[in-house]
Structure 1
Amino acid sequence: MEVKAIVKDTGYSALKVRLCVDMVRGKKVSEAITMLRFMTSPTAKVVSKVIKSATANAENNFQMNPADLKISQIYADEARMLKRMRPQARGRVSPILKRSSHITVVVAD
């Protein structure tokens, strides 16, 4: 059985989140959380929280053993962009795109 957890509109771009996500794909949950704990990226903390949430969903809602869980799917999609403008020389403007992402984790036995 597969159990899912999603976090939406994180403050990190999908490219930065995918670096952490790719490292833990296919690993056991306990191993993935240990790996993320020692990463220097601030996105690792957010990914770790989503994995813990999926594990808690599996344990509380479906009475699955957390020690047996494995990350079957994990991915980061792009979310909405905040668009701001920065003034430039000669009356021009240049855009600032503040990107965010959605992170989805699916754990299974």
Structure 2
Amino acid sequence: MEARAIVKHARIAPRKVKVVLDLIRNKPYDVAMATVKHTPKGASEYLEKLLKSACANAENNHHMDRDKLYVAEAFVCPGPVMKRVMPRAQGRAFRILKRTSHITVVLKEKE
């Protein structure tokens, strides 16, 4: 049995999220939550909320024990890219790519 939570179209680049996801993969829920809370990265906000959501799904929908939960899978996929224009000198324009992410966290129970 597994409980998953997904956030779509998060306004943060996938490579920034991947750094924090690598810290919490295969860790118990409590350790993962503490790690995310004390990591000074922009992705920590999204991941804290996502971990809480996955835990709530596990407890309420699948009747899992919170103390036995661990982060079985954690991955990020690139979402749609918003293209913007930055005016430059002499009438030129450079393109700015504002990247988004689809973040998935899966919690499972240890046997």
Q: TM-score range by the shorter chain?
A: over 0.9
Give the superposition deviation at 1:57. 0.2
Cα RMSD (Å) of the superposition? 0.8
**Could you report, residue by residue, the CA deviation over 1:62-89 in whole angstroms, capped at 9, with x for unpaired residues?**
1111110011000011111110111222
Relative to the length of structure 1, the TM-score reads 0.96
Give the superposition deviation at 1:42. 2.1
- Residue 108 in structure 1 maps to residue 85 in structure 2: no
Give the superposition deviation at 1:91. 2.1
Q: Which runs of 5+ in 1 are unaligned?
A: none
User: Matches of 1:46 and 1:85 in 2, distance apart?
Assistant: 27
User: Matches of 1:71 and 1:25 in 2, distance apart?
Assistant: 6
Relative to the length of structure 2, the TM-score reads 0.94
User: Matches of 2:45 and 2:30 in 1, distance apart?
Assistant: 14
Q: Which runs of 5+ in 2 are unaligned?
A: none
Give the superposition deviation at 1:20. 0.5
Give the superposition deviation at 1:21. 0.4
Residue range with higher mean Cα deviation, 90-99 or 54-63: 90-99
Residue range with higher mean Cα deviation, 46-55 or 86-95: 86-95
SS in structure 2 of the partner of residue 61 of structure 1: helix
Number of aligned pairs?
109
**Could you report, residue by residue, the CA deviation over 1:10-66 in whole angstroms, capped at 9, with x for unpaired residues?**
111001011100100000011100111111112112111111111100100011111
1:44 maps to 44
- Moved beyond 6 Å, runs of 4+: none
